[in-house]
Amino acid sequence: MEFPTLTKFHFPFVSSLVLLSIVTITLNPVMATKRCDFPAIFNFGASNADTGGLAAAFPLFGPKTPNGETFFHKPAGRFADGRLIIDFIAQSFGLHYPNSYLDSLGTNFSSGANFATAGSTIRPQPSIGQRMFSPFYLGIQYSQFERFKPTSQFIRNQGGLFATLMPKQEYFSKALYTFDIGQNDLTAGFFGNMTLQQVNASIPDIIKTFTSNIKNIYNKGARSFWIHNTGPIGCLPLILANFVSAERDRYGCAKAYNEVAQSFNQNLKQAITQFRKENPLVAITYVDIYTPKYSLFSNPKKYGFELPLVACCGYGGPYNFSNSVGCGGTIKINGTDTVVGSCDKPSVRVIWDGTHYTEAANKVVFDQISSGAFTDPPIPLKMACKRK
């Protein structure tokens, strides 16, 4: 094919630029803009987003083999067989898997830091009997971030190898700030002998603490937020095995427990909408992970999954879950010490250890939330720096 008109329509450089910008303006403004170039991610959260925090602070409580077997081929600080949603988020921006702030051993923070630890809550939470919560609740995670910001620059200014391990100053305003926290505030209530109504009634205060932490991080210069809501807690073996008489829905999930999670999510969504109104400079995205997670239980076959309510790595009962021994723990069975290992094919399973999801499930959820189909405003992950 020839291009005979090429010389005829030879625009000078300036006018082709003008032409380009006209085209850009007439297209849908969101679609026409380039993807966000997040140079770093700062994450806050609990076990669903812990990439090594608890394991660094309390090695005895960190995940043991077979955690990590699918992807990292060793325990990698994650309560899963492989990658978490936050890993897939980082990967999608070409950043390395998030490193934990608490990991003091040769850690590279050049593309951000992860303040999440397993067992973290939004509000400070003392342990309940055998059930332990992390001392690193959201307010502590914020204060660690507050320390990280100037200290990282102090180290960076020493130059050389030090500089390559720390984020640049401008990354703090350009970074994506991600959150996945709240589930443990609900479990603390459920296991602390509160009625469901009492737990439900505590939600507005939990959300108030959540938003005041977001505000504090915003005041430190953060501008792009990606905030996960909480998942269908009533579908987890942890809840199903402990509250056996709770009414089940058609897929076998504990209905009332899921309703409390939904109430948390409604409150969170409202609070984020309000935050957006009050802070016009923020690009803040509410991410509904509840819906894609719930569809893993309601329609497992669609994603190639089986036995969605049964833990792959656990022990005992209809849900393969026990309060007395977890994944990687050791239990005496008929007088013989037996290590709780994993099922044959974690890749076709939803739940890893009774509380956390498999890498395969995390990937399905990531694919769905990153598309923009489950976010408010409805923008894909790669556009999460754009203000509405």
Ligand X SMILES: *[C@@H]1O[C@H](CO)[C@@H](O)[C@H](O)[C@H]1NC(C)=O
Residue 96 DSSP SS3: coil
Distance CA 67, CA 45 (A): 19
What's the min distance (Å) between Cβ of 328 and ligand X? 10
Per CB under 6 A, the list member of 49, 343, 351, 383 interacting with ligand X is: 343
Q: Choose the stretch contacting ligand X; rule: CB under 6 A; options: 148-156, 246-254, 313-321, 369-377.
A: 313-321
Per CB under 6 A, the list member of 110, 184, 230, 285 interacting with ligand X is: 110
Q: Choose the stretch contacting ligand X; rule: CB under 6 A; options: 79-87, 217-225, 336-344, 375-383.
A: 336-344
Per CB under 6 A, the list member of 51, 183, 285, 320 interacting with ligand X is: 320
Interface with ligand X in residues 260-289 (CB under 6 A):
260, 263
Q: Choose the stretch contacting ligand X; rule: CB under 6 A; options: 281-289, 296-304, 311-319, 376-384.
A: 311-319
CB-wise, 51 or 111, nearer to ligand X? 111
Q: Is 259 in the site for ligand X (CB under 6 A)?
A: yes
| Among 230, 377, 245, residue whose Cα is nearest residue 294 | 230
Distance CA 218, CA 232 (A): 28
> At 124, phi and psi to the nearest 5?
-55, 140
CB-wise, 39 or 53, nearer to ligand X? 39
Interface with ligand X in residues 154-193 (CB under 6 A):
161, 164-165, 192-193
* Helices (H), ranges, the chain: 5-8, 13-26, 29-32, 53-57, 85-92, 138-156, 160-164, 171-174, 183-191, 196-219, 237-242, 255-278, 290-298, 359-370
CB-wise, 128 or 140, nearer to ligand X? 128
Tell me the pairing of strands 41-45 and 112-114.
parallel
Distance CA 350, CA 362 (A): 8
Catalytic residue among 81, 353, 370, 376: 353
What single-letter DSSP state applies at residue 97?
A: P
Is the Cβ–Cβ distance between 343 and 312 less than 8 Å? yes
* 96 carries an active-site annotation: no
* 353 carries an active-site annotation: yes
Number of helical H runs and strand E runs in the chain: 14, 8
- Which residues make beta-bridge pairs with 330? 339
Q: Choose the stretch contacting ligand X; rule: CB under 6 A; options: 141-149, 234-242, 279-287, 337-345.
A: 337-345
Per CB under 6 A, the list member of 96, 147, 255, 388 interacting with ligand X is: 96
> The sheet that has 112-114: what strands, in order across it?
112-114, 41-45, 176-180, 224-228, 283-287, 375-376
- Which residues make beta-bridge pairs with 180? 45
What radius of gyration, in Å, describes the C-alpha atoms of the chain?
Answer: 23
Distance CA 377, CA 387 (A): 9
Site string for ligand X, 126-145 (x = CB under 6 A): --xx----------------
Distance CA 228, CA 211 (A): 13
What's the min distance (Å) between Cβ of 6 and ligand X? 42
Q: Is 6 in the site for ligand X (CB under 6 A)?
A: no
Interface with ligand X in residues 198-227 (CB under 6 A):
200
Distance CA 85, CA 90 (A): 9
Site string for ligand X, 30-69 (x = CB under 6 A): ----------------------------------------
What's the min distance (Å) between Cβ of 280 and ligand X? 28
What's the min distance (Å) between Cβ of 293 and ligand X? 18
Q: Is 252 in the site for ligand X (CB under 6 A)?
A: no
- Residues assigned a catalytic role: 47, 353, 356
Q: Given the rule CB under 6 A, which residues bind ligand X?
A: 96, 108, 110-111, 128-129, 161, 164-165, 192-193, 197, 200, 259-260, 263, 307, 310, 312-315, 320, 333-334, 340-341, 343
